[in-house]
Structure 1
Amino acid sequence: MSFFRPEAMAAVARWREVIVAAVIIALGLWIAARPGGMIVTGFGYVLIGLGAVAMVPAVRRARFITGGDGPGVVQIDEGRILFMGPETGGAMALDDLSVLSVRRTRKGDTAWVLADATQLLVIPVDASGADALFDAFAALPGLNLDRLIASVQSRAEGSQRLWARDRPQALTR
């Protein structure tokens, strides 16, 4: 039996990286504010800096996560996105990805739409394991992460193209 509601535990789990970064910053402030010489004060400032550097991606990742109670399972393995859904599924390499879009229906269902030269892969944003897509999408050259996060949080229906490859992949490298 837990003293905390499941919704509260889910919120803490979603924001856990931000909480850890905030604790590091608070510890750094506490150490820097204590009298103890330049080395101790410098260590406090280093902790503040490390916490601030860790805070930025942690906030982005926490805003990206929508939950894992949707249909399907997402797995990412060595630059390949695999989606196994109840009705559809597929796999796509990030190197083959040509267009990344987000689609919201009138009912409020939101899905990632990934396209390459031969297939279209539709992944619900709340599928189990979909939070790992943030790191995969962050590796795409020229993708605006703030726009990506805003599109997930938006309530406007329709499709929105977030990223497109500048030119097709060459046959040789």
Structure 2
Amino acid sequence: MADFFRPEAKATIWRFRDVWGALLVLALGVWWSITGLGFVTWLGYIIAAIGVMLLVAGIQRGRFRQGSDGPGIVQITERRLAYFGPLDGGVMDINDMSRLSFDPTGHPAPYWVLTGPEARDIAIPTTATGAEALFDVFSALPDLKTEKLLGVLSDPPAQRVVIWQRPVHLLH
């Protein structure tokens, strides 16, 4: 029974695991809104709306995940990001990040390039272990366009592209 699914199908199902949970919540909400009476009907509508929001977030997270078999490990602890790679790495406070770029020319996988103080870069492969947690970090950046972030993964550009940059405040 373990060989019932092809490895590629298993990987896709696992990549979009948040979607499956959201579909269950949505199905429960729709079921309660159709079959329930009184308060349960309204509760079903609320649960169905929550299911739709979880579904949208799950699809975004699934599109962001690229695998976890790449080089290095990403850890995020109390708004401090650490990447431990085989050749390099670094630690950066998320609040100190000034620019987020995507480099599709990286080897063996494309890289997220995070620029911090003194223009110091940390290049993190999209397939590094724990890199899926970067979605939450990137989503918290002010004025980041999520569709632009996900678009570079589905349709990679030919060269490095800046996805987000901290606004510069001029004195006058």
TM normalised by structure 2 equals 0.88
Aligned to 2:152: 151
CA distance in 2, matches of 1:32, 1:123: 45
- Tell me, yes or no, if structure 1 residue 117 matches structure 2 residue 98: no
Q: Deviations over 1:125-165 (max 9, x none)?
A: 11111000000111111111111011122232201101111
Alignment of 1:93-112 (within 5 A): 93-105=93-105, 109-112=109-112
Aligned to 1:91: 91
TM-aligned CA distance change 1:106 to 1:65, over 3 Å: closer
Cα deviation for residue 6 of structure 1 reads 3.5
CA distance in 1, matches of 2:66, 2:91: 22
Q: Sequence identity, in percent? A: 39
Aligned to 1:126: 127
CA contact (8 A) 1:100 1:112 kept: yes
- Tell me, yes or no, if structure 1 residue 13 matches structure 2 residue 14: yes
Matched residue of 2:134: which SS? helix
CA distance in 2, matches of 1:79, 1:160: 24
Q: Deviations over 1:18-49 (max 9, x none)?
A: 11111111222222222x42223222212211
CA contact (8 A) 2:109 2:127 kept: no
Alignment of 1:7-86 (within 5 A): 7-34=8-35, 36-86=36-86
Q: Deviations over 1:88-143 (max 9, x none)?
A: 11111111111110011187831011112321111111111100000011111111
Q: Which runs of 5+ in 1 are unaligned?
A: 169-173
Q: Match for 1:78: what amino acid?
A: E
Q: Match for 2:135: what amino acid?
A: F
CA distance in 2, matches of 1:77, 1:138: 16
CA contact (8 A) 2:97 2:115 kept: yes
CA RMSD of aligned residues (A): 1.9
CA distance in 1, matches of 2:149, 2:105: 17
Matched residue of 1:101: which SS? strand
Aligned to 1:141: 142
Matched residue of 2:71: which SS? strand
Matched residue of 1:91: which SS? strand
CA contact (8 A) 2:73 2:85 kept: yes
TM normalised by structure 1 equals 0.88
CA distance in 1, matches of 2:79, 2:106: 32
CA distance in 2, matches of 1:85, 1:106: 14
Q: Aligned pair count?
A: 167
Shifted more, 56-65 versus 40-49: the winner is 40-49
